Amino acid sequence: MKPMMKCGHAANAEDENGNPVCVICAGITPDAYVVAEMPDLSGRRAKCVYCERKVQSSTDLPFFEYRPNEEFDIYYCGCYGWD
């Protein structure tokens, strides 16, 4: 399970020292470099931002973003490829 970052995304990279980081928010907010407390994802669902495919929320989903104040978290399922 990947750690959650304070920006709301699951860590999707490491910095030069091996620390988790969110490359989506790196350089935009310092929260991209700060590990947050792991949220309880039990019973939560995530929706692909493009095709709206729904799956069980997990920090292991690609580009996962926890959205506690919304019905669904978001991620990318690969529906448009990985290029």
* pTM for this model (two decimals): 0.91
- The number of distinct structural domains making up the chain is 1
Residue 20 has a pLDDT of 98
Contact 60, 1 (CB under 8 A): yes
Could you tell me the residue range of the domain that residue 12 belongs to?
1-83
pLDDT, mean of each 10-residue run, the chain (83 residues) = 97 97 97 97 98 98 97 98 93
Contact 40, 69 (CB under 8 A): no
